[in-house]
Amino acid sequence: MNNIHGAYECIGTDKTGTDSLSVLEKVRRDMSGRDVAKPSGAGGVGKSVLVCYASRYGSTKEIAECIAEEMRCLGIKVECLPAGRDVHPGDYDAVVLGSPLYMGKWLVEARDLVSRERVSLGGVPVAVFSVGYSFRDLSDEHLQSGEAALSDIRLFIALRDAAFFPGRVDPARLSPPDKAIYTIAGVVPGDFRDMEMVRAWARTLPATLGLI
């Protein structure tokens, strides 16, 4: 990406993180669905989860909806909502938060939610996911960049898990400023989302979040 950061769901981040390789290997295993216990039976029935997202062009919203639907298939009650002032994380047994990356950070509405609701979020298990163009390649560098982008989130809450997914690049959806960034960066258009990867991660969440 030549040190040019991206546009929301479309483009990721190239900032350098300092997380250990062991953390990165765990990310790879969790996101592939391997080496993680899968829920069995109806262990999560009766538990409620909030899947909350920020999304500029719809790609992250669709990933959030995929996560929510997969968890519903496991018998868990899930509400999928956009980040906003009418969202109350303390009303749920667990929370999954997601945002695309823009200039190495989550979108402001997602960051504001974490800051505003840090007390209630601190009382429930939380997992997060980030969406960015650079995550087409889950190299150490890109995963470290993704972890570094979560520093503002970790200031307020502890995270049970963090996943990183590639997004969609659709020039027709971009605002003029974002289209300019897209052009300068030489980003290749396309839908790079791997929904099976998303579903595999979603299946790990009941155990990760202590719901079973």
The DSSP element (H or E) to which 99 belongs, if any, is strand 94-102
CB distance 104 to 146 below 8 Å: no
List pLDDT tens digits, range 149-160.
999 999 999 999
User: What pLDDT shows up at residue 43?
Assistant: 55
For domain 21-206, the CATH class is alpha beta
- Torsion over CA of 207, 130, 155 and 89, rounded to 10 degrees? -60
The pair of structure tokens assigned to 108 is: 């402001």
Whether residue 79 has pLDDT greater than 50? yes
Share above pLDDT 90 across residues of the chain, in percent, rounded to a whole number:
61
CA 182-31-98 angle, 5° bins: 55
Query: Amino acid letter at 59?
Result: S
DSSP state letters, 176-199 = HHHHHHHHHHTPPPEE---HHHHH
Nearest to 202 by CA among 45, 88, 18, 39: 39
pLDDT value at residue 24: 43
Q: What is the predicted pLDDT for the residue at 92?
A: 98
Q: Domain ranges for the chain, please list them.
A: 21-206
Calculate the average pLDDT of the chain.
82
Residue found by looking up tokens 């999928």 in the block: 80
